[in-house]
Amino acid sequence: MKPVIALIGRPNVGKSTLFNRLTRSRDALVADLPGLTRDRHYGEGRVGDRPFLVIDTGGFEPVAKEGIVHEMAKQTKQAVAEADVVVFIVDGRQGLTPHDKTITDYLRKSNRPVMLVVNKAEGMKYTSVTAEFYELGMGDPYVISAAHGDGVNDLVREAIDFA
């Protein structure tokens, strides 16, 4: 079985950018698997000779009670349930938001291994870009730039080991 990595986080943190980077290698197969809803995107990636599945999600806005945003939260919860490991992405440029804390609370209850990842960190110092995220109580964050690729391979190798 290929390990399943779910990309979780509020809208605009860079989940789809990371998904595209992870699935666009020559070997990658990006396809909607049969029987799965269209709101999540499943793709296959590979690091070295190790294949994995990755799930992109629409973005978690936990406060919504109905409508499209509520549907997105539902899809996100399904992705978490299917995942061997959750990659929880926050935005190192925008910083910590109340939604990040709500998602943290949800993920804690999910009983899945979670890796906290600070994205958009290109050109920034580890200590300054991560400082405010220690408040989430998830230990040392991983730091990446999904757009530039910095830290992405290391992140995936660790994710697969977690799974």
Enumerate binding residues for Mg ion (CB under 5 A): 15-16
Give the helix, strand, coil percentages of the chain, each rounded to 5: 35, 20, 40
Asked if 16 is part of the footprint of ligand GDP (rule: CB under 6 A), the reply reads yes
Stretch 97-126 residues interacting with ligand GDP (CB under 6 A): 119-120, 122
User: Could you tell me which stretch among 7-15, 71-79, 95-103, 128-136 binds ligand GDP (CB under 6 A)?
Assistant: 7-15
3 labeled part of a ligand binding site: no
Binding partner at 17 among Mg ion, ligand GDP, none, C-beta below 5 to 8 Å by kind? ligand GDP
Nearer Cβ to ligand GDP (53/143): 143
Secondary structure (DSSP) of 34-103: TTS-TTSEEEEEEETTEEEEEEE-----TT--SHHHHHHHHHHHHHHHH-SEEEEEEETTT---HHHHHH
What is the Cα–Cα distance from 14 to 121, expressed in whole angstroms?
A: 11
Least distance to Mg ion, CB of residue 60, Å: 11
- Tell me which of ligand GDP, Mg ion, none is bound by residue 132, counting a contact when its beta carbon lies within the kind-specific cut-off of 5 to 8 angstroms: none
84's CB contacts (< 8 A; 6+ apart) are: 3, 4, 5, 112, 113, 162, 163
Provide the 3-class DSSP secondary structure of residue 50: strand
Judging by DSSP bridges, how do beta strands 50-56 and 41-47 pair with one another?
antiparallel
Q: Which helix (H) or strand (E) holds 148?
A: none
**Does 40 interact with ligand GDP (rule: CB under 6 A)?**
no
137 is in an annotated binding site: no
- Least distance to Mg ion, CB of residue 16, Å: 3
9 assigned ligand-binding residue: yes
Q: Is 57 annotated as a binding residue?
A: yes
Residue with Cβ nearer ligand GDP (18 or 85): 18
Binding residues vs ligand GDP (CB under 6 A): 9, 11-17, 59, 119-120, 122, 145-148
